[in-house]
Amino acid sequence: MMGRRLSVKSVRSVLAVCVVLSPLCGCGTNRPTPMYSRGATAGATLPILGGTGIGAGVGAAAIFDGEYVRVARAVLYSDDDDGGPFAVFSYLIAAQKDPQSPVGQRLREAIAAYAREAPYCASNQIDPQRVNIFVVPTTPTRPPDVSRTLCADESSVRELLFVDYDTARASRMADKAGLQGQGPYLIASLKPLSTLSLSDRSTLLIWDLSAIEPRLIRLAVDLFIDTADRPSALNKISLRQWAFELRNWIAVAAQGWNLSTEAAAAVAANVKGPN
């Protein structure tokens, strides 16, 4: 696993212009937490995920060079609107979370990978327009102190996100994307899913995880996160390239995942890029 992760990143020389010698962002224990909290500080005001529409903004320090876009995570609370000035929106979507069902088992594994691997950046550390925001919808309203609530050990974060996962809102998002199954799905969009029109559906990157064995779900989400950093501003073409990369890396990872060539091809076939 570690070898695969290093190899994915090592092929991108553009990473040299970013912070690669130490974790980009994170709380004190370098555990991922929700990306944004409410409030504003001096400096440019930028919309961010918060409970009042998108919420108040925070002046962003420029730690991203050029057009490089990096992934960071966000918890979408029930009083948060889906949106913001981000380069791209990624989602973990599932229609139900019964822990005894295949869908629920896959969702739990996907959330575990999300809690472990998706980075957190405080809003004064980033330029939102250089961020691929990776969203998980949850049922509670935004707590008074987001970081204190979820800047915890990995097991606590993943359990909380699974228990609070908002299947109703996720189902509405899936409807917007034109998805018929229960998922889980990994989705990347140039617009918030809640705002999609019928014509926008052709611009989505969608990875249907429903055919992947639960034991491999964490590896699949890891791969999605690993390849989510893009060397340029996101558009329909770059989302298509991302989907192509995912399919290629599935083929590369097949042996380590103990998948036959045929099984790996079936997994890769469930990665759909923009038309």
The rounded distance, in Å, linking the Cα atoms of 26 and 117 is 11
pLDDT beyond 70 at 121: no
pLDDT at 12 over 80: no
Give the span between the Cα atoms of 161 and 153, in whole angstroms. Answer: 13
Closest by CA to 69, choosing from 49, 46, 88, is 88
In this predicted structure, the answer to whether residue 114 has a pLDDT above a threshold of 60 is yes
- Quick one: tokens of 256? 């380590």
Confidence of residue 158 (pLDDT cuts 50, 70, 90): confident
Res. 146 pLDDT band, cuts 50 70 90: low
Q: Which of 48, 28, 31 is nearest to 40 (CA)?
A: 48
pLDDT digits (tens, 9 = 90+) for 200-243: 999 999 999 998 999 899 999 999 988 887 766 678 888 899 99
Cβ 190 vs Cβ 167: under 8 Å: no
Which pLDDT score, from 0 to 100, does residue 35 have? 36
Return mean pLDDT, the chain: 73
59-90 residue pLDDT tens: 223 333 445 677 877 788 888 888 888 888 99
The pLDDT of residue 128 is 73
Cα 46–Cα 49–Cα 55 angle in degrees, nearest 5:
60
Question: Of all residues in the chain, what percent carry a pLDDT higher than 70?
Answer: 68
The domain locations on the chain are: 2-19+26-234
